[in-house]
Structure 1
């Protein structure tokens, strides 16, 4: 997955409008117009780097005359104190763009780093780590990009590209059908036959409903490892199985060894800790 230039420009422009507004009053009031600077960005902890193009776009929009150079690529591992980029040109421009550039880099590197940790825990199994729609409003494309940089796989982009029947859909359908899971799958296949249909199930009875309805993809919600292993046995390859709920780094390997195809992890984007980076102007 690559970041669209249009998305880069739009997201960065919004971030700069929020932060810079009518102007950087501190820098304008204290730094001479002709002051020059050479700066570098370095990691302050081990991480998987992600978001360098956003750094470049930030400084490009602030001042196209700035020179930005990358010393690593997105996906590379960085050690503490390792320099990942340099910026040269107007000191005013560097100071004005510093925080927005770092915010993007820190957030996306945090997602890539956590994703990589999950991916490494399931190495040797067939399970893929998926993201979710639990993303920061307006930043979904960036955060899903960071998941791929960390070695994860993107689930649906939004409500428009894949059917996923969740528990609240089933609550409504239960008013009309005694077996809402099977009814939901049949309706989805009839009304949107070209779109992949996934349905959430909470137990093995609902799993059987989904299989009877012909679901291609089934989400196993908050099941125990033993229940998931049994679900894999019952399904016998007739549908893709996704584990979801209660997934963390301590448990993910055991989930993967049940034989599920996918493990979705909302924490990759909804509660990830940003990686610490710093921008320093050389004296």
Structure 2
């Protein structure tokens, strides 16, 4: 999995690029009417309900824009919030607060929506032993934020990208000439390149699961687009030989029943690609 250092590098890139994109050669709206030495204070106001996420990221944004800005945090990441709550106060240069405002709001609104949806799924899984995973179905350029939000909401991250885990899906299997060929070629590649990466293999039917189980070295089997009955059968076939994961159109109406089939994980792209931003505002006080 991605290291803390590499993850922080992703965050640094996001902040630098987002400020470049939004500010360009200057926030001329603020420069035109607010004195350079003007001081101000603003609050992050919640106008919705759910799980707040992105507070720590906001602190990094403010520090990048102006290290002299002071943050007073009232509500931490992962906390439940409701309409009227104040998450934090930021004080210092009025121009700096306005320069950082849009990035802070854009990030926190989306991160909070993802954390809220993830938390809902986590609660639906309570008592089953099954854990919820995200996917690579993220917004290009801000994957680190979206996967961070999943963690804040109580979920777990799948692989971060193509480089930190091997995942042999249908196209890999077909291009490689079948399940067994794909797995054996992968193991040879890892040995040749001296890489220690876990291998996940997707199965499209019970026959492919049987074939996968004939090969050693598979960390997890992705039971993809199976119905409940076949999922239960697949879990029994796999036993404790490796971990199991269900995926494929699983939603809040079906997630509990898939979990009760006995899988270790359920992955859902909807955690990151199908959310509605939480309503948040940064208001001068």
TM-score scaled by structure 2?
0.91
Q: Within 2, Cα distance between the matches of 1:235 and 1:86?
A: 52
Q: 2:200 aligns with which of 198, 201, 207?
A: 198
Q: Does 1:41 align with 2:33?
A: no
* Structure 1 stretches lacking a partner, 5+ long: 175-179
The match for 2:182 is 184
Secondary structure at the counterpart of residue 258 of structure 2 = helix
Q: 1:119 aligns with which of 119, 122, 131?
A: 122
TM-score scaled by structure 1?
0.92
Q: Within 2, Cα distance between the matches of 1:113 and 1:37?
A: 31
Q: 2:166 aligns with which of 159, 163, 166?
A: 163
Q: Within 1, Cα distance between the matches of 2:242 and 2:215?
A: 11
Q: CA deviation at 1:124?
A: 0.3
Cα distance per residue 1:149-178 (max 9 Å; x no partner): 11111111222221111111122123xxxx
Q: 1:140 aligns with which of 131, 139, 143?
A: 143
Q: Within 1, Cα distance between the matches of 2:225 and 2:182?
A: 20
Q: 1:102 aligns with which of 90, 105, 112?
A: 105
Farther off after superposition, 97-106 or 24-33 = 24-33
Q: Within 2, Cα distance between the matches of 1:182 and 1:7?
A: 35
- Say if 1:12 and 1:54, in contact at 8 Å, map to a contact too: no
Q: Does 1:221 align with 2:224?
A: yes
Secondary structure at the counterpart of residue 213 of structure 1 = coil
Secondary structure at the counterpart of residue 242 of structure 1 = strand
Q: Within 2, Cα distance between the matches of 1:6 and 1:217?
A: 29
Q: Within 1, Cα distance between the matches of 2:210 and 2:8?
A: 45
Q: Within 2, Cα distance between the matches of 1:118 and 1:2?
A: 26
Cα distance per residue 1:56-109 (max 9 Å; x no partner): 222222222221121111111111110001011222222222111111111111
Cα distance per residue 1:26-62 (max 9 Å; x no partner): 1111223343322100211112111112212222222
Q: Does 1:89 align with 2:83?
A: no
- Say if 2:50 and 2:82, in contact at 8 Å, map to a contact too: yes
The match for 1:79 is 82
Q: Within 1, Cα distance between the matches of 2:47 and 2:238?
A: 46
Q: CA deviation at 1:141?
A: 2.1
Cα distance per residue 1:123-142 (max 9 Å; x no partner): 10111111111122222222
Q: Within 1, Cα distance between the matches of 2:184 and 2:69?
A: 57
Equivalent pairs, count: 277
* Structure 2 stretches lacking a partner, 5+ long: none
